[in-house]
Structure 1
Amino acid sequence: MGGAVAAMRGKAARLAASRFTVALFGAFSAGKSSLANALLGERLLPVSPNPTTAAICRISPPDEAHPHGTVTVRVKASAFLLEEVNASLSRLDLEGGDWATCLRAIDQGEVIFQKHPAKTHSSFLRSVRQGFSRMGERLDSEFTARLDDFADYAADERLACYVESLEVHYDNPLARRGAILVDTPGADSVYGRHTGLAFHYMKNADVILFVTYYNHAFSQADREFLLQLGRVKDSLTLDNMFFLVNAADLAGSKQEQAEVLAHAESSLAKLGIRKPRMYAISSREALAAKREGDEEALERSGFGHLERDFTAFLFEELAGQTQSAAARDIARARGSLEQRLRMAEAAAEEREAVAAQRELDATTILRLIANLPQAEALLEALNREVQEQFYYIRQRFDYRFGEWYQACFNPAALRRENGANERLILRAAWQEWTALVSRSLSQEALAASLRIEKAALLLRDDALREVQRSMEAGFPDFPFEEAEEARLPTPSVKEDISFTDRPVRWLIGFYKNSKHFFEGGGSDELRKELAVQVRDEIGAYLSECRETMTSHYVSLLRNQLQEASIWLRENFVRYREEQASSPPAQEKKAEWSAVVQKLRELEEGLEGEVRSVYGCGEGTGSLQE
C-alpha cells in the first residue's frame, strides 16, 4: 500500500498548493486593464497609452517573501532589447548595430519617423531613446519597486519598453483563492515576441478571458490572434475560454446589446471559434458598483453573471478534475485491499495457484516494461502526425495568400501621407506583408505543436495502458499511478522567415500610379509574381519547423517512455519484495477491513473535502464574497 499512499499524498500536496492562472487577452483599448480592475474590485492597473511595448503584468497572491504591495520589475536583457531596436530600425530602412550606433540613428531619424508609415516602430524607437538615460543601466537586472511607481513601469512607454515583466503581489479576492491574474500585451502588439508570450499563456492558462470593445470591428491583428485562439481552443480537453464585449452600457437598448453580441458571436464563428461563452459587460460600471457595494448596479453591468460563471468554472470545474483523479486513486487503493481480503479468505490451494500464476505474469510484465522505450512503431506514428500537420499548414498558406496580400497592398495602406512617396509606401507594404506572413505561419506552427503534443501523449498513454491491463489482470493491488494530464515544453519556433529582400525598384515596376496599380492590373501582377517567388522560401521555413518539431517531440516521447519504464520497474520490483516479506494475509484482515471502510468514507466525502480546499463553500457567489 506504500505506493498508493505516496501517490495520494503527492496529489494532496499539489492540491493544497494549487495556483490558477487567469490570462486576459484583447486588442489595445478594448478594456483589458479596466476588466482586471473590475475583477480585483479596485483601480490597480493603469491604462497604457500605447500598445506597442506594454509589458506583461502578473497580479499574484502575497506571501512571506513578497508582502502585499511588493512590485518586482524584470528588465529586458540588453542583447534582446538591442535586437528589437535593430529590427525597428530595419523596418524604417535605417542602419543599426551596437547601442551607440542605434542611439545615434534614432537621434538622426526624426525626419524619417514623421514620414514613414510604420508609426508603431517610430514610436517605439522614440521611447527607447527617451528612457535610455534612466533604464539603460538597469538592463539585464531585476529589482523591487514601490507600488506607487508600478503605474510608470507598466504604462509610461519610456520605461515600459525596457520592461520584460512586472509582478505585483497584491491581496485581492482572486488571490485569496489562489488565482494569479495576467494582463498580456495587446493582440495588436508590434513584436512577434509578444505573440510568443501570448501563445504561452493560451496554452498554459487555466482560464482565458478575451475582451473586445463594444461595436468595434476586428482588425487584421485581432483576426490573426483569434484564429490562433480558436486553434488552441480546439486542442483543449476542457473549454476554458470566456469572450466579453466590454462597454455594453453604450447600447441604446437590450435589443441593440443582443444584436451586438450576436454579431460578435458570428464573427468569432467565422474565425473558427464555435459556441463561445459570450458576455456583455461594462467593466467601468462594475468597478464603480463594487467600490460602492451596490449589488444591483453590479448585476446591471453584466458583471455579476460573468463572475458567477467564471468563479464556478475556476474553482469548481477545475477542482472537479483533481477530484476525479483523487477519486480514482482512492478507488484503486480500496480495490487493492479488497482483493487482498478476498485472497485471505480463499482456500490454501487457490492461494498457491494464484501465486504460481503471478510468477508467470510478473515475467510478462517485466518484459513489457523493458520494451516501452523501444516502441519504434509509436515513434513512427508520431513522425507521421508531424508530417501531416505541416502538410495542412502549407495548404492553408496557399489558401490565405490572397487575404494576406490584400491586407498589406490595398488603397488605404498605400495612401500617401505626411510627404511619403510611392517608394517608401511600397517598401513599407512589403515589410508589413513579410511580418504578417512570418507571424501567421509561426503561430500556425505553434498551434500544430499542440496537436502534435496531444498525439504524443495519447501514444504514451496507449503504451502504458497495455502495461496497466496486464498489471490489473495479474496484480490488481499494484498501485499503478495513471499518468497525469501534462503540458510538454513547446519547442522554439523561428518567428521571422528569411525572405530575400525585394528592392524598391522591383516593387515600383508594378506601380505606375494608384489608378494603374488597383484598376490597371498592377496589383494582380505583383500578387501572382510574389506567390511564385516566395514559394521556395515558405517551403524552406516550414521544412525547418517540421524537422524541429519531429526531433523535439520524438525525443520527448522517447524520454517519457524511458522514465515510465524506469519508474514501473523500480516500483514493481519493490512491490514484489514487499509482498514476499509481508505478514500472512490472515493476520491483517481486521486492519485491512477497517482501512477499506475508511476509504469508502473518503470516496463519499471527497466532493466536500475538495470544495473546502478551494474555499468554495456552499454555492459559488461572486469574488467579493
Structure 2
Amino acid sequence: MAVTGFSESKEPVRVAGPSGYFPGTAGFSELRERLLAVLREIRALSMERNVPSLTGYAGEVAARLTANRFHLVVLGQFKRGKTTFVNALLGKNLLPTAVVPLTSIVTLLEYGKELDITVHFQDGHRQKTGVTDLPAYITEEGNPGNEKKVRQVVIHYPSRYLRNGVVLIDTPGVGSIYRNNTDETYKYLPMVDAAIFLLSSDQPISQAEVEFLNDTRQYAAKMFFIMNKIDYLSPAERREAIDFARRVLKERAGLADAVVYPLSARQALEAQLAGDEEALEASQLPAFTRRLETFLMEEKGRTVLEAAATRADNALGELKLGLEMELRALDTPLQELQDKIRLFEEMVASMEQERQDNAYILKGELDRLLERMEQDIVRFQEEQNAKLLAGMRSLYQEKGSRLSNRQLLQAMEDYLQTELQQALDQWRPLLEKQAGEGFTRLVTRFTGRTNQLIAEVVRQSAQLFNLPVQGFTGVEPLESESRLYYVFAEERTLLTPDPVKISSVLPRFIFGPLLKGEMRRRIDVLVDRNCGRVRYDLSERILKSLQQFRRQLDDKFDATIAGTREILRRTLQQREKNQTEVAIARERLAGQLNRLKAIDDTLCRVKIMLQDAAAKPGTAAGPTTNDYLKEQVQC
C-alpha cells in the first residue's frame, strides 16, 4: 500500500529507455499505469480464451493495485499542531483548529473527485455532513466525551496528496485532560503503516511523549519526526531544540538514527492559501514532503508494484501453458490424445481426495484457534471482575461519606463505564492481534498446501504434453472489517425500572448494601456482555474469513482443473473435424501466442525499471537505451 506525490518533485527526470520515463519520485504512478495496462491486456486475452478464473484474477489484481491504500497517521501529544499540519498538506482550512485542545475523533482523509464528508457511528449507521457542521462531531466542544457515539469521520477530498491510495489520518492529541481523546488515538495504532510524529519547539519533548512513542513503534514500519512551530525560534534556537529532541529520542527511546525535520505548519498553511511559493519553501514543508515521497516510492511503492508484477507474470505463465498445451494437443494423434485425457481424469480423482483431507485438517486447526481465543477471553473476564470490584469498594470507602445516595450511584456507574471501556479498548486490539496472527498462520499454511496441490495439477497437466511450467496463479490472502461497538447500559423497559435508583431514597444503612450488591451484579453482567460481543465479533469475522478462504481454495482448485479439461475437450472436438478446421484453430492460437509475447515484453520492461529503482534508489542518472536492450534479452 504505497503512494507518492506529496509535493512537486525537484528531482531530475530519468530516461527509462524504450518504455518511457521513470521520474525520480513520481515513478509509482507511471509504473502503476503500465502495470494496469498489462493487466487489462491479460484480462482481455483470458476472456477471449474463455478462462474465467484468469479473467477474474487479472481484474482483482488491477482493482487491488488501483485501490491500494497506505495509512499515514499523524500522531503526537495535544496542542502540537497536528490538525494544522494536515490542513497545510491539503492546502485548505478543512479540519477545525483552535487555541484549546480540540480534536476528539479520528478523521480519515481519502481521495475523492469532490468534497464528501461521512460520519460513521458506533452502531454502524452513517450520516452525511458538511464542513461547517464538522466541529459538532469531531471536536471536544461539539461532541464532549463523544456523547454522540461517533466511531470515525471519513472525508473524501480532491487533493493530489491523497492520490494513489494515501489515507491521511488525523488523530486526537494524547495526554490532555480528556481521557477519551487518548483512548481514541490508541485504537487506531494498529492501522499505522507510517507515522508522522509531531513535536513542538515551544515545549521540550516530555516523558509522556516518549512513552506514547514507544507504544507507537510496535505498529509503524516507519516514523517521521517533525519539530513544529519553528517560526517562534531563531535559527540558533531551532538547532538547539532539534539537537535536544534527537538526544532524547536516542537516549530514552532508543532511536539513535532519528531525523527531526523542522517545520512551521502554520506558515505552510498560510503560504498555501496565499499561493506564496517562497513562503512555502521557508516553512520547510516541501523539504519534508520530498523526503516522504522518496520513502513511499523506494520502500513501500516498489513492494506493491513488484507484487502486482509477479501476479501478472504468474497469470501470463498460466495463459502461456494453456496456449502451448492446446497447440501441442492439436498435433497429437487422436488415440494418444484420448489416452492423455483419461490419465488427466485419473490424476484429478487422486488430487480431489487430497483436497478433502486438507479441508478436514483445516477444520481441526480452526477449532483449536477458537479454543485458545476463548481461554484468553475468560482470563480477561475474570481479571476485570476482580479489578472492577476492588475499584468499586475503594470508591465507596473514599467517597461514600461525602456523597448523597444518588451521587454515589452516579459516581459508581461512571467509574464502571470508564474503567471497563478503557480496559476493553486496551485489551481488544491485543486479542485481535493474537487471533489475527493465529488465523494468518493457519491460512498461510493451508494456502501453501493448496498452492502445492494446484502446482501439482498444473505440473502433471503440462507433463502430459512435455511442456514446462512457467508460473501459475495461487490463492490470495483475506481481510475482514470489525463492526463491534460496546454496550454499557442495561436494557430496561417502563415496566422494569432500575431498582437501585428507586432505593436511593432509602437511608444509607439500607441503601449501601443494596448498592454494593447491585454493582457486583452489574460488573458481572457488563463484563460478560461486552466480552460476549468481542467473542461474537471475532468469531464471526474468523468464520466468515474461513468460509471465504475455503471458497477461494475450492474455486481455484476447480478452475485449474476446469481450464485444462476445457482445453482438452475443445482440442478433441477440433481433432475430430477436418484438417481445415485444425489449421484455422492453429492460426488462431498462434495469433494469441504472439499477443501474449507482446504483453510479456511490456511486463518485462516494467520489471527492469523496478529492478533499476531498487538498485539505484534516489539517483538522478538513469540507464541508457542500450542497457535496457541488453537486459530485455535476459527477460
> Which one of the candidate residues 51, 54, 57 is aligned to 1:4?
54
* 1:259 match: 244
Equivalent in the alignment of 1:322: 304
- 8 Å CA contact retained: 1:341, 1:589: yes
Q: Does 1:379 find its partner at 2:361?
A: no
Change (3 A) 1:168 1:576: closer
Say if 2:348 is the partner of 1:362: yes
Structure 2: unaligned runs, 5 residues or longer: 1-45, 463-468, 491-499, 510-522, 576-584, 612-617, 621-635
The one-letter amino acid paired with 1:41 is G
Q: How far is 1:290 from its partner?
A: 4.6
Structure 1, unaligned runs of 5 or more: 81-139, 234-238, 415-419, 507-534, 612-617, 621-625
Helix, strand or coil for the counterpart of 1:244?
Answer: strand
Query: Structure 1 residue 455: deviation in Å?
Result: 2.3
How do residues 23-422 of structure 1 correspond to structure 2 at under 5 angstroms?
A: 23-51=73-101, 54-63=104-113, 67=114, 70=115, 72=117, 74=119, 142-145=127-130, 147=131, 157-158=141-142, 164=150, 168-177=155-164, 179-188=166-175, 198=185, 201-204=188-191, 207-214=194-201, 215-218=203-206, 226=213, 229-233=216-220, 239=221, 241-248=223-230, 252-264=237-249, 266-269=251-254, 279-288=261-270, 290=272, 301-314=283-296, 317-340=299-322, 343=325, 344=327, 348=332, 355=341, 357-374=343-360, 375-383=362-370, 386=373
Which digits, 9 at most, give the CA deviation of each residue in 1:449-481, with x for residues without a partner? Answer: 123213212311211221211221231479964
TM-score (norm 2): 0.60
Q: CA deviation at 1:31?
A: 0.9
Is residue 487 of structure 1 aligned with residue 487 of structure 2?
Answer: no
Per the TM alignment, residue 156 of structure 1 is displaced from its structure 2 partner at its CA by: 8.1
Q: Aligned partners of 2:229 and 2:418: how far apart in 1?
A: 32
C-alpha distance in 2 between matches for 1:166 and 1:369: 44
Q: For residues 287 and 590 of structure 2, what CA distance do their matches in structure 1 show?
A: 52
Instruction: Please state whether the residue corresponding to 1:182 is helix, strand or coil.
Output: strand
Change (3 A) 1:352 1:178: same
- Which residues in structure 2 correspond to 1:605-616 (within 5 Å)? 605-606=605-606
**2: CA distance between counterparts of 1:75 and 1:330?**
36
1:563 corresponds in structure 2 to 551
Q: Structure 1, residues 41-71: CA drift from partner, whole Å, max 9, x if none?
A: 34433314554773444444443xxx4xx46
Structure 2 letter corresponding to 1:44: L
Q: Distance in 2 between matches of 1:242 and 1:249?
A: 20
3-state DSSP of counterpart to 1:262: helix
Say whether residues 1:580 and 2:564 are aligned partners.
no
CA distance in 1, matches of 2:449, 2:553: 13
User: 2-side partners of 1:366 and 1:277: how far apart?
Assistant: 56
Pair 249,11 (structure 1): closer, same or farther in 2 beyond 3 Å:
same
Q: Could you tell me how far 1:287 is from its partner in structure 2? A: 3.2
1:445 aligns with 2:403: no
User: Is 2:87–2:95's contact at 8 Å kept on the other side of the alignment?
Assistant: yes
Q: Deviations over 1:129-166 (max 9, x none)?
A: xxxxxxxxxxx984554x56656776582478659465
- Partner SS state of residue 47, structure 1: coil
Provide the rounded CA distance (Å) in 2 between the counterparts of 1:74 and 1:537.
Answer: 31
Secondary structure at the counterpart of residue 219 of structure 2 = helix
CA, structure 1 residues 385+228, in 2 after alignment: closer, same or farther (shift >3 Å)? farther
How many Å separate the matches in 1 of 2:299 and 2:427? 29
Partners in 2 of 1:395 and 1:218 — Cα distance? Answer: 36
Letter of the structure 2 residue corresponding to residue 366 of structure 1: E
Matched positions, count: 501
Q: CA separation of 1:73/1:189 partners in 2, compared to 1, >3 Å: closer, same or farther?
A: farther
Structure 1 residues 144 and 550: CA distance shift in structure 2, 3 A: closer
Give distance in 1, aligned partners of 2:75 and 2:339: 63
Q: Report SS of the residue matched to 2:567.
A: helix
Counterpart for residue 456 of structure 2? 473
User: What is the rounded CA distance, in whole Å, between the counterparts of 1:451 and 1:278 in structure 2?
Assistant: 33
CA RMSD of aligned residues (A): 5.6
Give the Cα separation in 2 of the matches to 1:489 and 1:495: 19
Letter in structure 1 aligned against 2:480: L
> Quick one: distance in 2 between partners of 1:484 and 1:200?
27
**Per-residue CA shift, 1:461-506, capped at 9, x if unaligned?**
21122121122123147996434444323373758799xx9x9x99
**CA distance in 2 between partners of 1:294 and 1:446 (Å):** 44
Partner of 2:603: 603
Q: Distance in 1 between matches of 2:436 and 2:256?
A: 22
Check conservation: 1:72, 1:143, Cα contact below 8 A: yes
Q: 1 CA distance for matches of 2:488 and 2:257?
A: 33
Asked if the contact 2:192/2:219 (under 8 Å) is kept, the reply is: no
Q: 3-state SS of the aligned residue for 1:29?
A: coil
Q: Give, in whole Å, the separation in 2 of the partners of 1:555 and 1:482.
A: 22
Equivalent in the alignment of 1:136? none
**Are 1:551 and 2:569 counterparts?**
no
Q: What is the identity, as a one-letter code, of the residue corresponding to 1:326?
A: A
- With structure 1 as the length reference, what TM-score do the two structures score? 0.61
Contact 1:54 1:154 in 2 (8 A): yes
Deviation track 1:202-247 (CA, whole Å, cap 9, x = no partner) reads 4446544333434455576x677656534434xxxxx254443433
Match of 1:459 in 2: 442
Please say if residues 152 and 159 of structure 1, whose CA atoms lie closer than 8 Å, have aligned partners that are also in contact.
yes
Give 1:29 shift: 0.9
Tell me, yes or no, if the aligned pair for 2:242 and 2:260 is still in contact at 8 Å.
no
Q: CA 1:464–1:484 in structure 2 vs 1: closer, same or farther (change >3 Å)?
A: closer
Deviates more, 1:7-16 or 1:580-589: 580-589
Report the more deviating stretch, 436-445 or 475-484. Answer: 475-484
C-alpha distance in 1 between matches for 2:252 and 2:536? 34
